[in-house]
Amino acid sequence: MNSTHYTEVHLIHQQTQQHTVIQLGGQFEHGNNEWVLDQTGVDFARFRFVAAADGVQLQYLEGDSVVEVDGTAVTQSAVIRDGATLRIDDETFRCELHQQRYEATQPELDAGWLTITGSVREHNEDSIGIYQQPPYHLFVVADGVGGAEAGEVISEFAVKYLLYEFDRYRDTQTDWASVFHTAVKDINDEARSYARTLSEQSGRQVQAGCTLTAIALNGWDAQIVHVGDSRLYLQHDGTLQQVTVDHSTFSTANAGAALQTTAKFATKRNVLIKGIGKSDQIEPDLKSLRLTPGDKLLLCSDGMSDRINDAEIAGLLDGMPPQKLVAHLAKTADERRSADNISVIVVRVNAPGQVVGGAQALPQPRAYIGAQPRPRLSAGVDLTTDYSTETGESHLPLNLIIPVAIVLLVVIIVGLVLVRAAG
């Protein structure tokens, strides 16, 4: 993760002096970093600007224009440096690259979170996770599937495992996408094993799984991992976008889609098509983005998003401190008879010195804060994966320790008896 980063490209038309600003920060995959040129004297052309180590990379996505950077023809991509000349057919632009001053500092976060059972369910199968050790932060929402005997257990395990892995690797030069990809596969393996064991013990088919949506921050850089229909929203420059895609048959939203401006309340239970515990194989969605001061993040389970539409969320994000806002959102969803548990995390990303003190999140059930010890599933149905420590040493799975200890004790007792008999 780089400590410096170009956040804007300014294109100044040489003839008209028209000024166009391309934003690079705070976006994911595509958005404000794309530029379409469709004007008199120029064939249609579409470009994308991406931050690069020594400048900004210009990607020529489509069009029939003749494109040059400092006199060199561009067919697919080229690196633009500050002061470069960009020529598109007969139009010429001067390129200015800008770095925001906040880049040399670390963000200050103001976060609030809440998870509640709600008025309809008897148990809270949701779990949330919070890790804040600046510049490292992790926020997690998991919605359990399978009832109290399974959903509660798996969502708690998933959150604790991700917190454990994040703390384990946080100070290393690591590929976070790879860490989270492996972590989700490990969590899924354990969920599948847990469900098989419960099914064998009960004599019936037991479903055990959860959704998992998380965002990790190292400074201004963020890594997202997602499976299921819990959601992550980003509000940037006053525009709200859903970053994640719902992996459910009831899904109507896509990443970056336009706001849902009317309430669309679910009349039936969403059916997951991808989630922890759904199948032996799992491929989580992985995205990275770069945040800027003023950005706001909202993570939630479908117990909230099924009852509060995007336009309402956008209108509320600026109006309350995060902890008051999560309480308001959870209360509103519950009053609208949400059919599920309700979990909400709101994070405001601020430049240093801009955090306004608000209500602090109090300890609450199903919210796991900070580094966690290596998590285990319930007694008798323990981990089967032989995880390795950072030093590469292997550990005997706990479900084998007791039988081995009993055998060793029997051997010792028999040995003592034989020694006495011989004496």
Are 84 and 164 in the same domain?
no
The pLDDT confidence band at residue 49, using thresholds 50, 70 and 90, is confident
Give the lowest-confidence range in 236-245, 269-278, 297-306, 347-356: 347-356
The pLDDT confidence band at residue 45, using thresholds 50, 70 and 90, is confident
Are 163 and 299 in the same domain?
yes
Measured CA distances, 30 to 8, 33, 35, 329, 414 (Å): 15, 6, 10, 29, 71
Are 110 and 95 in the same domain?
no
Are 248 and 265 in the same domain?
yes
Are 79 and 178 in the same domain?
no
Give the distance from CA 232 to its chain's centroid.
7
3-state DSSP assignment of residue 287: strand
Last residue of a domain, one of 353, 369, 385: 369
- Which structural domain, as residue segments, surrounds residue 20? 8-99
3-state DSSP assignment of residue 159: helix
Measured CA distances, 134 to 138, 162, 171, 235, 370 (Å): 10, 17, 11, 22, 12
Are 27 and 165 in the same domain?
no
Q: State how far the Cα of 284 lies from the Cα of 276, in Å rounded to an integer.
A: 9
Q: Which amino acid is at 116?
A: I
- Would you say residue 403 lies in a domain? no
Q: What is the CATH number of the domain that holds 194?
A: 3.60.40.10
Q: Is the pLDDT of residue 251 over 60?
A: no
Other CB atoms within 10 Å distance of the CB of residue 10: 15
| Average pLDDT estimate for 37-44 | 59
Are 158 and 131 in the same domain?
yes
The pLDDT of residue 50 is 81
| Average pLDDT estimate for 244-250 | 87
Most confident of 172-176, 219-223, 331-335: 331-335
Per-chain mean pLDDT for the chain:
81
Give the model confidence (pLDDT) of 394-404 as tens digits. Answer: 333 334 445 55
Q: Is the pLDDT of residue 306 over 60?
A: yes
| Average pLDDT estimate for 200-205 | 89
Q: State how far the Cα of 362 lies from the Cα of 81, in Å rounded to an integer.
A: 49
3-state DSSP assignment of residue 183: helix
Give the model confidence (pLDDT) of 348-385 as tens digits. Answer: 999 887 665 555 666 789 999 999 998 877 555 555 54
Q: Is the pLDDT of residue 22 over 90?
A: no
| Average pLDDT estimate for 34-41 | 62
Tell me the sheet residues that pair with 259.
Answer: none
| Average pLDDT estimate for 15-24 | 80
The pLDDT of residue 269 is 54
3-state DSSP assignment of residue 397: coil
Q: Is the pLDDT of residue 178 over 80?
A: yes
Are 249 and 266 in the same domain?
yes
Say how many domains are in the chain. 2
Q: What is the CATH number of the domain that holds 20?
A: 2.60.200.20
Q: Percentage of the chain with pLDDT > 70?
A: 75
| Average pLDDT estimate for 13-38 | 66
Q: For residue 371, give the nearest of 126, 135, 107, 136 by alpha carbon.
A: 136
Q: Percentage of the chain with pLDDT > 90?
A: 48
* Contact by Cβ (8 Å): 308, 265: no
Are 218 and 151 in the same domain?
yes
Are 343 and 313 in the same domain?
yes
Other CB atoms within 10 Å distance of the CB of residue 170: 19
b/e string for 278-314 if b means 16 or more Cβ within 10 A? Answer: beeebebbebebbbbbbbbbbbbbbbbbbbbbbebbb
| Average pLDDT estimate for 151-179 | 92
